[in-house]
Structures are given as structure tokens and as C-alpha cells.
Amino acid sequence: MKFLLFGWLALLCLCSFAQKYNCDFQYKKTISDGVIVSFEVIEKNNTIPVESLENIFKQKPDVLSAQFVISGTIKYFKLKIKEHLSADQVREILRQNGFDFNDSSIIKSQIATEHYPVFKDTGNPQADHDRYEKDKQEWIKNYPEEVEIMTGRKISDAVIELPADFPKYEKTGNETEDAILYEKAKKEWHSKQQEIK
């Protein structure tokens, strides 16, 4: 029994370590002609001064501009890059020269599937959120087999049909007030349903 339990535990660990992850910059802003990113740089086995990285970055065709900044004891870079240049590719440039970025400079997320929508920060939080939610719903509709793989259940099992008279969430611009009104409307609806029974 102990061996069986240990075997399952080992298999679970192996599967979790085999997951693919996507790295992205913690500090990232999309602009009209690219993306501005910043990250703290740390020295590993460097043979050149950290300031020299600025020129190395500027020589890369996907890096539009590079600025090395020292703020107190923190050394960081601010890069303007083409949108397709990934955090992993920037990290590779750093590692080739004996540097890395501080892990707090990146976000590590599990890669769902190649079709899963990507959240893009354009500086308009509400529009960005709405676009991302719409893209996720489209993904669920267009790729039910991927939803099943990610969630472990069929999409038909996850869909709940709400009655036509169930209250709708209305956006007025005040999220707190909207949420309170929606919760109140749901409670009233449930009370009516109890009275009918």
C-alpha cells in the first residue's frame, strides 16, 4: 500500500514538473509601435559590466531602445521591444552575458493551449477585461476539447442554463455598486422562487 501511494505521489510530481510555463514581464505596457518592459537585472557569472548590456540590447533588431537605470541598490533595464520578443528571449540574451532577471520581474503562468487567449494591457482596464472575457468565451465555444483537457470535464457538463427571468449583471461604471445591486437582485429572484414553491 505504501509503495502504491508513493508511486502515485511520484507520478503526480513528475506530471506537475512536466508542465510548460509561459514567462512574461511583470512590468509591461503595450504602446503603438511595440511594448515597454522593465526588469531588475542580477549578476551571475558576468564577465562584462552590467552597463555594457545596454549596447548589447541596442544591437538586437527586436529591441527598439534600451535604458540602464540604477535606483538605490537596484539595477534595472527599461526596454522598448517589438511585441513578439518574449521574456524568455530577453532572458537568453542576459544569460549569454552572465546575467539574469530577478524572478520578481516576471510572471510565470502555465501554458493552457496554443489557442488560449492572451490578456493584453492597453492601459484601459475595463476594455482590456471585457475583450479578454469575450476572447475566453469564444475560445470555450470554438475549442471544447481543449476546455475538457484543462478542466477535466466536458463543456456540456460545465454549462448551466439560467432561467430567462434570472437577473442580468448590469454595468453602470461603479463596480462596487453594480455588484451590490446584482447580489440584491439575485436574492430577490431566489425569494420569489421559494414563494412559488
Q: Rounded mean pLDDT of the chain?
A: 77
Specify the pLDDT at position 167.
82
Q: Is the pTM of this model over 0.75?
A: no
Report CA 169 to chain centroid distance, whole Å.
25
Band (153; pLDDT cuts 50, 70, 90) = low
- Is the pLDDT confidence value at 157 over 70? no
CATH 1.10.10.10 is the classification of domain 21-110: no
Specify the pLDDT at position 27.
86
Break the chain into its structural domains and give their ranges.
21-110, 125-158, 163-197
- Is the pLDDT confidence value at 158 over 60? no
**Contact in structure between 64 and 34 (CB atoms under 8 Å):** yes
DSSP 92: H
pLDDT digits (tens, 9 = 90+) for 81-95: 998 888 888 988 999
Cβ neighbours of residue 140 closer than 8 Å, sequence gap 6 or more: 147, 155
Specify the pLDDT at position 79.
94
Closest CA to 75 of 94, 57, 101, 108: 101
Specify the pLDDT at position 7.
45
- Is the pLDDT confidence value at 14 over 50? no
**Which one has a higher pLDDT value, 79 or 126?**
79
